[in-house]
Structure 1
Amino acid sequence: MRKANKLVAIVLGVGAIASSISPASAVPYKGSNVYKVVKEGVTSIYISSTANSRVQVDLGSVERSTARIVGACGEVRISVPNSGSFTGLKVDGASISADSLPSQVMPSCVNGTFSEPRPDNFRTPNGQVVIVNKTPGAAVAIALPNEATRNLSVNACGFAILRATTSTALPDSFSISGTDYTTASLQDAGDAPICRTSGGESTVYVPGSWTN
């Protein structure tokens, strides 16, 4: 019991207001069910919804970055994406126009040298994009936009959080249940709500600044 009281005291000490909520409750900010919190330049998007439910967020076309190790002949092979399109492809930040690349077979690599010269980037007959003249064994960044969705779990207090990941930045715009949102235009709550569960009861701690 003392531990619970200490937690409340700590949270209230930073200007929060504690309130118990029922499982069907949600945590909107000044009437907005979707809002953001920006702290130290990092944006998180909060989605108020029915507690313990799930929310699907349609992110649209999102640039995803992956690392690829360069082959022994300085080549990087990029397979055809599920979308079938290389539109927006970037390698180490440089844009690659896949449609303009010549079609050539992939030569064998012998002792760090192609059996046939390949001085420029090309595409193989099966559609792969091959980037050349990279440093063998080095890592390169491959970025390619993809249609993406995120399925978020709503916590017991009634809100879910959409954050950037190591491979996917927050989108400029997104939609939830057919409603479109723009990240830049979302209300900034300043401080985030906090959800704590103890003894089967969930309590949301709402920042004191929300009541101003």
Structure 2
Amino acid sequence: MTADTNNELTHHLGVAIGSIVVAVLLWVAGYRGQRVVAAVPFFILFVVMVIGPLVRIRPSIRRRVSGNFPVNWRSELGIWFAIWSVIHVLFVFWARDWDVVGYLVDMSPWAFGAFVAVLIAIVLACTSNNRAYDYLGPKAWKWHQSHGTYVIFWLVAVHGYDRAYLRPYEEMGFPSDDPLHLIYLVMIVVVVLLHVVAFAVVVSQYRKTGEYPPDL
């Protein structure tokens, strides 16, 4: 599973169109404004997070489709996650009449974590290209991209869980029954399970052959 930092225009168009389609579907389903621009990056992040373990669990995926698919889409997906996340933050500031300082001072720990995740996403997006890859070198580039992505996922997951379940429970006395919130929870669980299974596959291969996958 090698890195791919070419940033193909067709991939960017595909992710952009796909994310807009998701936004439209959410709008049609009755969600508005902040809910839409918060959901779209979470869906993109989910796709980013499942590509690695899926390829590790089922290597045949890459053999069936040429061009290092689906790994070669992660760079574009990550960049569009950062774009939609920035849009979400701007919507939050707009809803608070652009009182940015007041919001940052008064934000919850979970919201602060999500804000940090956006900053990390911007850094990863800016270094998700061939120039940064060549400058940092393969191992350092992969290290900072993979670790940064995991940090983003957990910060966003905790923020999403707070907004979807903890806060509604505190305000109303019962968990949220919003279908979108349930989807968030399912996606978090799926990501965790896939990574656990992929880890088990790697360990199993090592126990059988004495070697790790060459592209680990």
Higher relative CO (Cα under 8 Å, sequence separation at least 6) belongs to 1
TM-score normalised by L of structure 2: 0.23
Of Structure 1 and Structure 2, which has the larger fraction of its residues in strand? 1
